[in-house]
Amino acid sequence: MLALIIQLLSGAAGGNLAGSLMKGSSLGTLWNSVAGIAGGGLGGQVIGMLAPSLGAAAASGSMDITSILGSVAGGGVGGGIVMAIIGFIKKAMAK
């Protein structure tokens, strides 16, 4: 449960960071966060599947530094990617 919370918070941060880096595709702080949270959850699940040792450590509740960093990385990157995809779709539809 703690790993999921870390992934969602990291996703929100990643979404806002991606939004601040891509001014033309930003959705605003609220929607950057929402897209980032969704991406953080997805990114965390993907990392759990690709690196089973990280997923197993987080699921067992033993949150060592490796599983925490894996959750932060998966959530942040996933949040940034989902926010960027949604931002590009929004920008393309506005044309």
Is pLDDT above 90 for 77?
yes
Q: Which structural domain, as residue segments, surrounds residue 79? A: 2-94
Question: By the 8 A CB rule, do 76 and 46 touch?
Answer: no
Domains contained in the chain, number: 1
> Closest Cα to residue 73, out of 59, 58, 60, 62?
58
Q: How confident is the model at residue 57 (pLDDT cuts 50, 70, 90)?
A: low
What is the value of pTM for the model shown?
A: 0.84
Q: Provide the token pair at 39.
A: 């991406």
Q: Model confidence over 32-42: pLDDT tens digits?
A: 999 999 999 99
Q: How many whole angstroms separate alpha carbon 83 and alpha carbon 87?
A: 6
The overall average pLDDT reported for the chain is: 87
Tell me the average pLDDT across 63-86: 89
Is pLDDT above 80 for 29?
yes
